[in-house]
Structure 1
Amino acid sequence: MIRILSMPAFAASLLISAIAGGTARAEDEPKKASAAQAQAFDTTLVGSTAGKVKTFACFIRRYDADHLAAHPKQTVSAMKLLVTVDMPSTEQTYNHEFRLGVKFRHRKGDFQSAGSCNHAIVKDAGDEVRLSCPIDCEGGGIEIGIAASRRPQDKAAAMVRLEAVRIWDNDSKAEEETADYLKAGADDKAFRLERTSLKDCGSLVSDDDERIAMLGK
């Protein structure tokens, strides 16, 4: 038997469904991390408490032949990530920027990407705190998270996740002529990068003043 709702009841049911749907969509959206969560994230990311001067963190991964053989669809052979944390003079929240270096297994050249990040967000999956780092003009972007430790004594590693991010040839002065995209294929969606010395990310910094601030020379 088919139940026929009166017009008021039908309208009410539509309203309830719309509210429920809106609530579900709102719950699916990431929420801004609290001040305590953001501070803990920054401390773990840079390995120390972020202060009033620019702080840097470098992460890197070079995939060996065994790994690449086990992941034949992975196009990335090496990746490095430089994250900077800096407090602006007029606000009490930290600014984040990233520079990404990429090498490909079947393509010559050193490629990079760069951009600014939004404030830290909390993802539904395990309440993970991440930085969302979009690139202007439909350049895609990346998300930066803290990788789960494999062993208690491990230093924090970074997780880089992406759908698509604009990259360009680091050796070319004409970025617009070499712009391309690193897209998330079957094995190019998430990358675990290990913390390393800041000097390993020196190639991602072209500004002399910033290089001095990072490396002291």
Structure 2
Amino acid sequence: MAALLRSPILPFVVLSALLAVTEARAQAIEPGKEGELANLIPPEAGARACFGRVYDAAHLKAHPKQQVTEMQFRLAYYIHDPDEFAPKGQRNYYFEILARLRGHKQPKPLTAMGECSPKDDGESIFCGVDCDGGGVMVKRSGDGKILIDLEALGRLRMTSDCGEDEEGSIELSSGVDDKRFQLSKLPVSECPAYDDW
């Protein structure tokens, strides 16, 4: 359970990289502005939580168009080393979604990773995949559970290996039976640290 050669497109590549760094910095979470994220895990270095669900045969029979047979959501708080832009270290909430799909025979689950930020409504969290890879909305749903809302954004780009490029990816779309997923909190022993994702 993600070499440059000399070419005429180099300025574009450099500009894209700079924009990606700027976008990543824009997702940093300032202390005290964690919002709903702090209700899932505290803003402390190394804090993490994992939620998951394996859908049984009865559920999948009742929802024949559901693609997802298993899902896990991981969330971690990470403080980067201090630098000129963030003298106290940039602070981010990172996520990973792992999923197995009906008919997908890969030995490892598909994965999507990115950053999370609180929404202004005070109740939900946006977790997005870089480079327009879609994302999900996340809400607490009581009793240590969360609701992953794929329908809100409609799609999530997933790969079978974090080193794969976009061409080898699969789009998990919000279909008839793949709109929302209620996941239960997993024991800490089943929740790897961010550095081990």
Name the structure 1 match of 2:119.
Answer: 121
CA contact (8 A) 2:37 2:125 kept: no
Residue 192 of structure 1: which of 164, 182, 194 is its match? 182
> The residue matched to 2:61 in structure 1 has which SS?
helix
The one of the two structures with greater contact order (alpha-carbon pairs below 8 A, sep at least 6) is: 2
Normalising by structure 2, report the TM-score. Answer: 0.68
Name the structure 1 match of 2:159.
Answer: 168
Specify whether residues 64 and 129 from structure 1 end up closer, same or farther in structure 2 by C-alpha distance, changes over 3 A only: same
Name the structure 2 match of 1:135.
Answer: 129
Distance 1:137 1:38 in 2: 23
- How many residue pairs get aligned? The number is 159
CA contact (8 A) 1:99 1:112 kept: yes
Distance 2:57 2:184 in 1: 18
Distance 1:185 1:143 in 2: 16
Computed over aligned residues only, the root mean square deviation of the Cα atoms, in angstroms, reads 3.0
> The residue matched to 1:182 in structure 2 has which SS?
strand
* Larger fraction in helix: 1
Identity of counterpart residues, as a percentage? 27
CA contact (8 A) 2:48 2:191 kept: no
Residue 104 of structure 1: which of 76, 101, 104 is its match? 101
CA contact (8 A) 1:45 1:158 kept: no
Consecutive unaligned residues in structure 2, runs of 5 or more? 1-30
Name the structure 2 match of 1:50.
Answer: 43
> The residue matched to 1:138 in structure 2 has which SS?
coil
1:196 Cα deviation after fit:
0.4
- Which is higher, the Rg of structure 1 or of structure 2? 1
User: What amino acid does structure 1 have at the position aligned with 2:158?
Assistant: I
Normalising by structure 1, report the TM-score. Answer: 0.63
**Higher deviation after alignment, 102-111 or 92-101:** 92-101
| Aligned residue runs from structure 1 range 5-16, under 5 A | none
Residue 73 of structure 1: which of 43, 65, 69 is its match? 65
Consecutive unaligned residues in structure 1, runs of 5 or more? 1-34
User: What amino acid does structure 1 have at the position aligned with 2:148?
Assistant: V
Distance 1:42 1:107 in 2: 32
